[in-house]
Amino acid sequence: MGREHWKRIWIGSAGNMVEWFDWFVYASFATYFAGAFFPSGNPTAQLMNTAGIFAVGFFMRPVGGWLLGRVGDRRGRKAALTLTVTLMSASAVLIAVAPTYAVAGYGGALVLLVARLLQGLSVGGEYAASATYLTEATDPRRRGFASSFQYVSMTAGQIVGLGLLIVLQRTMSDDALHRYGWRIPFVVGALGAAVVFHLRRTMLETEVYAQDASGSEERGTLRALWRHRREAFLVIALTMGGTVAYYTYTTYLTKYLSNSAGLAKETATLVSFTALLVFACLQPLAGRLSDRIGRRPLLITFAVGSTVLTVPIMILLKHADGYWPALGLALLALVVVTGYTSINACVKAELFPTGVRALGVALPYAIANALFGGTAEYVALWFKSAGAESGFFWYVAGCAAVSLVVYVTMRETKDLDLTRVPSHEASGVTTAS
């Protein structure tokens, strides 16, 4: 890759990192601010309330996917990426200044809800704009490698958030963290977003988009997307298993280790932090491998592994009695998930022509995340509160099994030309060749 390609990947990834820092910080710090916005009582009930608001953000993602996907196809990838980080900065500021239950009753929870709605809008468009930009901005022979940096940056955002949590846990008292310390990461997120906004204003548009000759009136429209509805439904199906598994072993893992396995919050946080560092390093390696052998082998490996191993891994994690056992199991799970995360961005982008690529990735992906990814944590806590926590393990395995059927029957996308992808060539559910 040339220097200019690396620059584009860096700018796209840096913005994605800040977006997902803000997104995941909510989940990472939920154990500290859950009691700030809701009446005191059962800690599990408080976590369910905050998880419910977390899930609401996901239900705004289809709206953001449609709105910002349309912007990305009609105005350019740069315009969409700049708008998403602006919305994310505003939401971080709102959470940082939100009043507590003791000060404003449920008014604070309302501010929290509005902030999550804005985050949902932002991330709903960020994923597709970033996936499209990273896929279009590189050599066709290295699209898997380049697009893998989307999950490198997403994971880096969470790593920074967890790292900040570890620092605050070691420099502030538990009482101070519960009273005001949890606001600090949201201030950091807002400042980071301002820096990325400046970077994205100077970024270059992709050549694939700039040279696209499709009709401007059709770009980014639902009518155009409907002509590629098979690909859109394919995105939903192939996302289902991956997004549930990803959120189970990232945003929910820390809570699971502390709330179910009984590990100290500090130990659970350190396990997640270390596992995610390794996970981030695996993404480019797996992405590069997909450029050699194709996308389907990695996707199938993920789905088989997740279907077979989820239940035993989650059961063993529940009985992990220290840092090392928990870390080993978490790493095993994330190695399996890498088969999906490292390449899912380019797979989806490769399915659509340029004029509807951002919307084609954004809307169906956001719908899948609203239905499965955003609700994973809430479903897990619901099973726990109902006294049937193992039901969630089978739920995750079942979602992976559904996606496995899609991976086995879909067509390989590695060699498709992004400048011209006719509908019949991009069709997903066909006999594998």
Mean pLDDT, the chain, integer: 87
pLDDT in tens, 401-422: 999 999 999 999 999 888 754 4
pTM for this entry = 0.85
Rounded distance between C-alpha atoms, residue 27 and residue 37, angstroms: 15
Q: Say if residues 322 and 267 touch (Cβ distance below 8 Å).
A: yes
pLDDT at residue number 293: 97
| Residue 394 pLDDT class (50, 70, 90 cuts) | very high
Q: Indicate the burial class of 182 (C-beta count within 10 angstroms; 0-12, 13-18, 19 or more).
A: buried
Instruction: Could you list the beta-strand ranges (E) of 247-303.
Output: none
- Give the DSSP H/E element, type plus range, for residue 175: helix 174-179
Q: Which residues of 254-286 are buried (b: 16+ CB within 10 A; e: fewer)?
A: bbbbbbbbebebebbbbbbbbbbeebbebbbeb
Q: Say if residues 68 and 125 touch (Cβ distance below 8 Å).
A: yes
Rounded distance between C-alpha atoms, residue 364 and residue 361, angstroms: 6
For residue 105, the SS3 value is coil
| Residue 40 pLDDT class (50, 70, 90 cuts) | low
Q: Which residues have a Cβ under 8 Å from the Cβ of 295 and sit 6 or more positions away?
A: 144, 343, 346, 347, 412, 413, 414
Rounded to an integer, the average pLDDT of 382-390 is 94
Q: Can you count the helices (H) and strands (E) in the chain?
A: 23, 0
Q: Which of 47-56, 268-277, 303-312, 382-391 has the lowest mean pLDDT?
A: 47-56
Instruction: Could you list the beta-strand ranges (E) of 146-222.
Output: none
